[in-house]
């Protein structure tokens, strides 16, 4: 079996590169030679094409970085010969947490070695549904993206957008301080129309929207704590709020009393979700911690996203002591 370490050299102020190096050394001690690939490099995509090709045989693809690195690898991870693992080097590392994957390079190397030695463990891998996101802009432009954890529109997506454009000079959660303060001061939530399998969840209302495929969320708040990554359904939450005052009130309530305390929250479950807005500024979205759409990928403001569940697309390493991916 081929083992590929796909790291993002820009993740965690260079921490991902160091962790990838440590993991490669730990794997070598177990007799496994790993091939490193920097996904931020110009040839990163081509190297992943070559290394994960179905004709090359089985592949253990290990993402070293944050949740955005995992999302970037989904195109290759969904191939039937690939098993995906994650060594977190980001701030939240929700994917690794949700599947109970080891946090350190030595521990993950042992888990990979056990799985490779016991080929049956690879066959018993977790199965992960994917979210296909079809984005439409006001000029009729279309773009497809993949995600596996969640998509949201609200205070968190505004902060992610500001963080994406901010200079990265502080480690960990400290990097969020300036974007959070700036995002709150300029917070304006667009009015949304949200449909779940044809049922209306919101119509021309401002608020916080979350579409979850997995239960885990930042800071352990988990507003969609019942979501499961392998049931073919998305948990959709909408909390009506307008303006800075009400948004701050909601953030404060959730932080102090937990995600279960969200007055006015509406919930639906389904496999197809459509979100649209007539707001001239368009939708501000984040998926798995990444801003959508990326700057320069669409010419006009985003006006609609259609989210569709695709069943059992990715195999995820199952550890002996790991938690279920739900």
pLDDT band at 48 (very low <50, low <70, confident <90, very high): very high
* pLDDT score recorded for residue 189: 87
Q: What is the pLDDT of residues 266-295, one digit of tens each?
A: 999 999 999 999 999 999 999 999 999 876
* pLDDT score recorded for residue 177: 47
- pLDDT greater at residue 241 or residue 120: 241
* Stated pTM of the model: 0.88
CATH architecture of 2-124: 3-Layer(aba) Sandwich (3.40)
Residue among 62, 7, 15, 14 nearest 40 (CA): 7
* Contact assessment for residue 72 and residue 30, using Cβ atoms and an 8 Å cutoff: no
* pLDDT score recorded for residue 323: 37
Structure-block tokens of residue 11 = 């993740």
* pLDDT score recorded for residue 324: 37
* pLDDT score recorded for residue 250: 67
- Flag whether pLDDT at 246 surpasses 70: no
166: which residues sit within 8 A by CB, 6+ positions away?
175, 178, 179
**CATH 2.60.200.40 occupies which residues in the chain?**
131-312
Residue among 140, 71, 90, 108 nearest 304 (CA): 140
- Tell me how far CA of residue 91 lies from CA of 68, 103, 256, 316, in angstroms: 11, 12, 21, 21
* pLDDT score recorded for residue 294: 76
- In degrees and rounded to multiples of 5, residue 101 shows phi and psi of -80, 145
Q: What is the pLDDT of residues 154-195, one digit of tens each?
A: 888 887 877 765 545 445 544 554 445 554 555 678 999 999
- Tell me how far CA of residue 72 lies from CA of 48, 77, 147, 219, 252, in angstroms: 11, 9, 9, 22, 32
* Contact assessment for residue 36 and residue 5, using Cβ atoms and an 8 Å cutoff: yes
* Contact assessment for residue 292 and residue 113, using Cβ atoms and an 8 Å cutoff: no
Least confident of 24-38, 72-86, 168-182, 206-220: 168-182
User: Please, which contacts does 284-287 make with residues 24 or more away whose CB atoms are closer than 8 Å?
Assistant: 284/153, 284/157, 284/158, 284/161, 284/190, 285/151, 285/152, 285/153, 285/157, 286/151, 286/152, 286/153, 286/156, 286/157, 286/160, 286/161, 287/71, 287/131, 287/133, 287/145, 287/147, 287/149, 287/150, 287/151
* pLDDT score recorded for residue 233: 98
- pLDDT greater at residue 157 or residue 210: 210
How open is the CA angle 319-324-326, to the nearest 5 degrees? 145
How confident is the model over 210-221, as a mean pLDDT? 90
C-alpha atoms less than 13 angstroms from C-alpha of 195 in its C-beta half-sphere: 11
C-alpha atoms less than 13 angstroms from C-alpha of 211 in its C-beta half-sphere: 30
**Alpha-carbon distance 254 to 73, whole Å?**
32
How confident is the model over 244-258, as a mean pLDDT? 65
**CATH 3.40.50.10330 occupies which residues in the chain?**
2-124
C-alpha atoms less than 13 angstroms from C-alpha of 25 in its C-beta half-sphere: 9
**Alpha-carbon distance 292 to 286, whole Å?**
5
Q: What is the mean pLDDT of the chain?
A: 87
pLDDT-above-70 percentage for the chain: 82
Task: Estimate to the nearest angstrom the gap between the alpha carbon of 224 and the chain centroid.
Answer: 14
Question: Please, what CATH class does the domain formed by 131-312 belong to?
Answer: mainly beta
């Amino acid at each position: 079996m081929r083992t590929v370490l796909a790291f993002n050299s820009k993740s965690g102020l260079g921490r991902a590169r160091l962790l990838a190096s440590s993991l490669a050394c730990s794997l070598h001690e177990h007799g496994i030679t790993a091939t490193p690939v920097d996904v931020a490099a110009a040839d990163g995509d081509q190297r992943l094409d070559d290394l994960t090709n179905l004709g090359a045989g089985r592949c253990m693809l290990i993402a070293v970085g944050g949740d955005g690195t995992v999302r970037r690898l989904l195109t290759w991870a969904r191939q039937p010969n690939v098993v995906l693992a994650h060594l977190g080097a980001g701030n939240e590392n929700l994917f690794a947490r949700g599947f109970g994957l080891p946090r350190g390079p030595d521990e993950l190397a042992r888990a990979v070695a056990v799985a490779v030695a016991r080929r049956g463990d690879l066959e018993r891998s977790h199965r992960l549904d994917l979210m296909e996101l079809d984005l439409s802009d006001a000029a009729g432009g279309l773009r497809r993206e993949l995600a596996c954890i969640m998509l949201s529109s609200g205070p968190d997506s505004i902060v992610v957008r500001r963080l994406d454009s901010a200079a990265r000079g502080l480690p960990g959660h400290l990097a969020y301080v300036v974007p959070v303060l700036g995002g709150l001061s300029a917070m304006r939530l667009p009015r949304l129309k949200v449909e779940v399998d044809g049922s209306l969840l919101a119509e021309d209302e401002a608020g916080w929207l979350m579409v979850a495929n997995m239960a885990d969320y930042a800071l352990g708040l988990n507003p969609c704590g019942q979501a499961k990554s392998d049931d073919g359904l998305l948990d959709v939450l909408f909390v009506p709020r307008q303006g800075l005052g009400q948004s701050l009130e909601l953030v404060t309530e959730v932080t102090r009393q937990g995600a279960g305390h969200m007055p006015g929250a509406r919930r639906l479950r389904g496999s197809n979700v459509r979100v649209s807005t007539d707001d001239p500024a368009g939708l501000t979205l984040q998926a798995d911690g990444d801003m959508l759409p990326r700057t320069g990928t669409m010419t006009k403001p985003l006006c609609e996203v259609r989210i569709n569940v695709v069943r059992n697309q990715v195999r995820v390493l199952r550890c002996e002591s790991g938690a279920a991916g739900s």
